[in-house]
Amino acid sequence: MRRLLAHRFSLPLATAALGVGIVTASSSILNNHPQRRPIFTSHCAPKINKPAEAMSEENIPGLYSQDKLRSMSINITGMRIPYHGKNESFTEDQLVAREPFSQFNNWFERAAITEGIEEPNAMCLATATKDGKPSCRMVLLKGYGIDGFKFFTNYCSRKGRELEENPWVSLNFYWEPMKRCIRVEGRVERLSVEESTEYFHSRPISSQVGAAISPQSQPVPGREFLLEKEKELLANVGENKCVDKPETWGGFVVIPDVIEFWQGQTNRIHDRIRFRKRAPGECPDNVLVHEGENGWVFERLAP
């Protein structure tokens, strides 16, 4: 098996075939990755100070009328690209092991060196309130192994609050150039303060400051408010370039009980192989449900 360590912008691999232990990206990899740059989005509509008569659909930037939307030339229903061909299916005999972590490691390793995949560790994290109201967002995987999948966040953010009241989550990795996807289901646990602090101080100083000054998911007066907070903290940091990790910031590990591997097929008979923890008293028949390793079973799902 080709080792991911040969690729300098990927997460380090586990040192054993099963990915023993949690693997954490080194600070040099994090700092040198070409995609380590800020990405800004806005969830608020721009404030428009215009008289009421000027507030027509035609005069509001970025707002399309229904007639204009209907006349647009983009045919969404016709968007379709080829995936894998009939001779490129993903079958059970191609599994690198009868447990999911080695298979994840194999696909992740390939994603990290595949052209067009700049952040192989980008994943969609879905959470839900205790009442079942879902939300999702993109986060970055910062370590993985037989113990689970790690990420870091603000504990007071929306996802942090939801994880406190409902620890069940789902992760989704989608690597479009490979036409492959991995879905993970499980529950989260907090990482230790020591591990969170170690990772926090491995980040660039700008990222440490950004995490320290941001009341994540809370309304703020504007971007200048955050920039002023950043300026103040940078002035106080001084030459030692050290920011204290906020008590409200740290890591989680997702402990999986389901990991599904999906590969797209052009004929839409996609390949889906799901690993799940064996149910109490379950006896795999090795026809529909196959015996795995380390308490796992696996099965093929219809697309």
pLDDT digits (tens, 9 = 90+) for 162-202: 999 999 999 999 999 999 999 999 999 999 999 999 999 99
Does the pTM surpass 0.95? The reply is no
Spatial separation of the C-alpha atoms in residues 266 and 14, rounded to whole Å: 33
Supply the pLDDT for residue 134.
Answer: 98
Q: Is residue 96 part of a domain?
A: yes
- Number of domains the chain contains: 1
Q: Is residue 182 part of a domain?
A: yes
Q: Is residue 54 part of a domain?
A: no
Q: Is residue 212 part of a domain?
A: no
| pLDDT tier, 214 (very low <50, low <70, confident <90, very high otherwise) | very high
* Catalytic choice (36, 268, 272, 274): 268
Q: Is residue 52 part of a domain?
A: no
Q: Is residue 183 part of a domain?
A: yes
Q: Is residue 214 part of a domain?
A: no
Does residue 268 have an active-site annotation?
yes
Supply the pLDDT for residue 68.
Answer: 72
Q: Is residue 208 part of a domain?
A: no
Question: Is the pLDDT score of 221 beyond 60?
Answer: yes
| pLDDT tier, 59 (very low <50, low <70, confident <90, very high otherwise) | low
CA torsion sign for 96, 124, 187, 286 is negative
* Residue-range definition of the domain harbouring residue 138: 4-33+81-203+248-300
Please state the rounded mean pLDDT for residues 51-59: 52
Model confidence pLDDT, tens digit, residues 80-131:
999 999 899 999 999 999 999 999 999 999 999 999 999 999 999 999 999 9
CATH number of the domain at 149, please. 2.30.110.10
